[in-house]
Protein backbone atom coordinates (compact mmCIF):
# COMPACT_ATOMS: atom_id res chain seq x y z
CA UNK A 1 0.00 0.00 0.00
CA UNK A 2 2.71 2.42 0.99
CA UNK A 3 4.84 1.08 -1.82
CA UNK A 4 2.15 2.13 -4.25
CA UNK A 5 1.97 5.58 -2.78
CA UNK A 6 5.66 5.97 -3.34
CA UNK A 7 5.49 5.63 -7.11
CA UNK A 8 5.91 9.34 -7.53
CA UNK A 9 6.06 10.63 -11.06
CA UNK A 10 9.43 12.27 -10.46
CA UNK A 11 11.14 9.00 -9.93
CA UNK A 12 9.63 6.92 -12.68
CA UNK A 13 12.69 7.13 -14.84
CA UNK A 14 15.12 6.12 -12.12
CA UNK A 15 15.39 2.38 -11.88
CA UNK A 16 17.13 1.56 -8.59
CA UNK A 17 15.28 2.32 -5.38
CA UNK A 18 18.00 3.76 -3.22
CA UNK A 19 19.57 6.46 -5.33
CA UNK A 20 20.97 9.44 -3.49
CA UNK A 21 20.89 12.78 -5.22
CA UNK A 22 23.59 15.29 -4.40
CA UNK A 23 22.33 18.80 -4.74
CA UNK A 24 24.56 21.81 -4.69
CA UNK A 25 22.49 24.87 -4.05
CA UNK A 26 24.76 27.86 -4.29
CA UNK A 27 22.32 30.09 -2.50
CA UNK A 28 22.18 28.02 0.66
CA UNK A 29 24.33 24.97 1.16
CA UNK A 30 24.89 21.48 -0.08
CA UNK A 31 22.18 19.03 0.87
CA UNK A 32 21.96 15.31 0.43
CA UNK A 33 18.61 13.60 0.18
CA UNK A 34 17.42 10.09 -0.71
CA UNK A 35 14.60 11.68 -2.69
CA UNK A 36 14.48 15.28 -3.63
CA UNK A 37 11.00 16.67 -3.02
CA UNK A 38 11.77 19.67 -0.89
CA UNK A 39 11.42 22.14 -3.74
CA UNK A 40 7.88 21.10 -4.54
CA UNK A 41 6.94 21.32 -0.88
CA UNK A 42 8.39 24.80 -0.59
CA UNK A 43 6.56 25.79 -3.73
CA UNK A 44 3.29 24.54 -2.32
CA UNK A 45 3.79 26.44 0.91
CA UNK A 46 4.55 29.61 -0.97
CA UNK A 47 1.50 29.19 -3.17
CA UNK A 48 -0.61 28.67 -0.10
CA UNK A 49 0.86 31.70 1.64
CA UNK A 50 0.13 33.94 -1.33
CA UNK A 51 -3.44 32.78 -1.60
CA UNK A 52 -4.09 33.03 2.12
CA UNK A 53 -2.63 36.50 2.21
CA UNK A 54 -4.67 37.81 -0.69
CA UNK A 55 -7.81 36.01 0.40
CA UNK A 56 -7.55 37.56 3.86
CA UNK A 57 -7.06 40.96 2.32
CA UNK A 58 -10.10 40.62 0.07
CA UNK A 59 -12.15 39.28 2.97
CA UNK A 60 -11.26 42.25 5.15
CA UNK A 61 -12.06 44.77 2.46
CA UNK A 62 -15.37 43.15 1.57
CA UNK A 63 -16.39 43.24 5.18
CA UNK A 64 -15.20 46.80 5.71
CA UNK A 65 -16.69 48.31 2.59
CA UNK A 66 -19.80 46.23 1.99
CA UNK A 67 -20.35 44.12 5.09
CA UNK A 68 -20.42 40.98 3.00
CA UNK A 69 -18.54 37.71 3.38
CA UNK A 70 -16.23 36.26 0.75
CA UNK A 71 -18.30 33.12 0.10
CA UNK A 72 -21.38 35.23 -0.57
CA UNK A 73 -19.43 37.43 -2.93
CA UNK A 74 -18.07 34.38 -4.73
CA UNK A 75 -21.51 32.87 -5.11
CA UNK A 76 -22.89 36.10 -6.51
CA UNK A 77 -19.92 36.30 -8.89
CA UNK A 78 -20.78 32.89 -10.28
CA UNK A 79 -24.39 33.90 -10.81
CA UNK A 80 -23.51 37.22 -12.39
CA UNK A 81 -21.86 35.38 -15.24
CA UNK A 82 -25.02 33.42 -16.06
CA UNK A 83 -28.12 35.66 -16.10
CA UNK A 84 -30.49 32.78 -16.79
CA UNK A 85 -29.40 31.18 -13.54
CA UNK A 86 -27.82 27.90 -12.52
CA UNK A 87 -28.63 24.89 -10.39
CA UNK A 88 -27.19 24.39 -6.94
CA UNK A 89 -25.03 21.54 -8.24
CA UNK A 90 -23.57 23.78 -10.92
CA UNK A 91 -22.69 26.32 -8.28
CA UNK A 92 -21.08 23.77 -6.00
CA UNK A 93 -18.96 22.40 -8.86
CA UNK A 94 -17.84 25.83 -9.96
CA UNK A 95 -17.04 26.99 -6.47
CA UNK A 96 -15.40 23.68 -5.63
CA UNK A 97 -17.26 23.40 -2.35
CA UNK A 98 -19.59 20.72 -1.04
CA UNK A 99 -23.21 20.50 -1.96
CA UNK A 100 -24.52 21.00 1.53
CA UNK A 101 -22.47 24.11 1.84
CA UNK A 102 -24.24 25.78 -1.06
CA UNK A 103 -27.65 25.01 0.41
CA UNK A 104 -27.02 27.13 3.49
CA UNK A 105 -25.27 29.86 1.57
CA UNK A 106 -28.13 30.21 -0.90
CA UNK A 107 -30.68 30.12 1.89
CA UNK A 108 -29.20 33.21 3.51
CA UNK A 109 -28.83 35.07 0.21
CA UNK A 110 -32.45 34.37 -0.73
CA UNK A 111 -33.45 35.52 2.73
CA UNK A 112 -31.59 38.81 2.26
CA UNK A 113 -33.17 39.39 -1.14
CA UNK A 114 -30.05 38.98 -3.26
CA UNK A 115 -31.10 35.73 -4.87
CA UNK A 116 -34.18 34.38 -6.50
CA UNK A 117 -34.83 30.66 -6.30
CA UNK A 118 -37.35 28.51 -8.11
CA UNK A 119 -37.95 24.84 -8.66
CA UNK A 120 -37.34 23.71 -12.22
CA UNK A 121 -40.40 22.70 -14.18
CA UNK A 122 -38.58 19.99 -16.07
CA UNK A 123 -37.09 18.32 -13.01
CA UNK A 124 -38.61 18.98 -9.66
CA UNK A 125 -35.45 18.03 -7.80
CA UNK A 126 -33.65 20.95 -9.35
CA UNK A 127 -33.52 24.42 -7.85
CA UNK A 128 -32.56 27.22 -10.23
CA UNK A 129 -31.11 30.31 -8.59
CA UNK A 130 -30.49 33.74 -10.09
CA UNK A 131 -29.48 37.16 -8.91
CA UNK A 132 -32.39 39.46 -8.23
CA UNK A 133 -32.27 42.92 -9.76
CA UNK A 134 -31.18 44.35 -6.43
CA UNK A 135 -28.68 41.56 -5.95
CA UNK A 136 -27.14 42.16 -9.34
CA UNK A 137 -26.88 45.89 -8.79
CA UNK A 138 -25.18 45.41 -5.45
CA UNK A 139 -22.82 42.82 -6.83
CA UNK A 140 -21.75 45.02 -9.74
CA UNK A 141 -20.88 47.77 -7.31
CA UNK A 142 -18.79 45.40 -5.21
CA UNK A 143 -17.17 43.76 -8.22
CA UNK A 144 -15.96 47.07 -9.62
CA UNK A 145 -14.06 47.88 -6.44
CA UNK A 146 -12.92 44.32 -6.01
CA UNK A 147 -11.21 44.48 -9.38
CA UNK A 148 -9.26 47.54 -8.26
CA UNK A 149 -8.18 45.85 -5.05
CA UNK A 150 -6.89 42.88 -6.99
CA UNK A 151 -5.06 45.10 -9.44
CA UNK A 152 -3.44 46.79 -6.47
CA UNK A 153 -2.50 43.51 -4.82
CA UNK A 154 -0.66 42.42 -7.97
CA UNK A 155 0.54 45.95 -8.63
CA UNK A 156 4.27 45.22 -8.51
CA UNK A 157 4.10 42.52 -11.17
CA UNK A 158 4.94 43.48 -14.71
CA UNK A 159 2.61 42.45 -17.54
CA UNK A 160 5.20 39.86 -18.44
CA UNK A 161 5.20 38.51 -14.88
CA UNK A 162 1.43 38.22 -15.06
CA UNK A 163 1.52 36.32 -18.35
CA UNK A 164 4.22 34.00 -17.09
CA UNK A 165 2.37 33.31 -13.86
CA UNK A 166 -0.81 32.59 -15.79
CA UNK A 167 1.05 30.09 -17.92
CA UNK A 168 2.73 28.32 -15.03
CA UNK A 169 -0.43 28.17 -12.97
CA UNK A 170 -2.30 26.68 -15.90
CA UNK A 171 0.35 24.00 -16.06
CA UNK A 172 0.13 23.51 -12.30
CA UNK A 173 -3.63 23.17 -12.45
CA UNK A 174 -3.41 20.55 -15.16
CA UNK A 175 -0.77 18.63 -13.23
CA UNK A 176 -2.80 18.72 -10.02
CA UNK A 177 -5.95 17.58 -11.78
CA UNK A 178 -4.09 14.70 -13.32
CA UNK A 179 -2.72 13.70 -9.93
CA UNK A 180 -6.14 13.93 -8.27
CA UNK A 181 -7.74 11.94 -11.02
CA UNK A 182 -5.09 9.23 -10.83
CA UNK A 183 -5.82 8.73 -7.15
CA UNK A 184 -9.62 8.80 -7.33
CA UNK A 185 -10.11 7.12 -10.70
Residues that bind DNA (CB under 7 A): 56, 59-60, 63, 69-72, 87-90, 96-106, 108, 123-128
List 22, 32, 67, 155, residue binding a copy of itself (CB under 8 A):
155
Q: What is the DSSP string of 16-80?
A: SS---EEEE-TTS-EEEESS--HHHHHHHHHHHHHHHHHHHHHHHHHHHHH---HHHHHHHHHHH
Q: Helix %, strand %, coil % for the chain, to 5?
A: 60, 10, 25
List 88, 96, 131, 140, residue binding a copy of itself (CB under 8 A):
96
Minimal distance, residue 92 CB to DNA, in Å: 7
At 129, phi and psi to the nearest 5? -115, 145
Which of a copy of itself, DNA, none interacts with 21 (beta carbon under 5 to 8 A by kind)?
Answer: none
Angle between helices 70-80 and 88-95 (to 10 degrees): 120
Determine, following the binding rule CB under 8 A, whether residue 148 of this chain makes contact with a copy of itself: yes
Do the Cβ atoms of 139 and 108 come closer than 8 Å? no
Minimal distance, residue 167 CB to a copy of itself, in Å: 9
Which of DNA, a copy of itself, none interacts with 72 (beta carbon under 5 to 8 A by kind)?
Answer: DNA
Binding interface with a copy of itself (CB under 8 A): 2, 5-6, 8-10, 27, 35, 37-44, 46-57, 61, 65, 96, 145, 147-157, 159, 161-166, 168-180, 182-183
Amino acid sequence: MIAEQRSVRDLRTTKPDKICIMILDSETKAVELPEHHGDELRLWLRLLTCTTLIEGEVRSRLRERFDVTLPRFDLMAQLDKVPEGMTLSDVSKRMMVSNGNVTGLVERLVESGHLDRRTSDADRRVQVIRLTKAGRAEFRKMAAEHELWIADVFGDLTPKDVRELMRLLAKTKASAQKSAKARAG
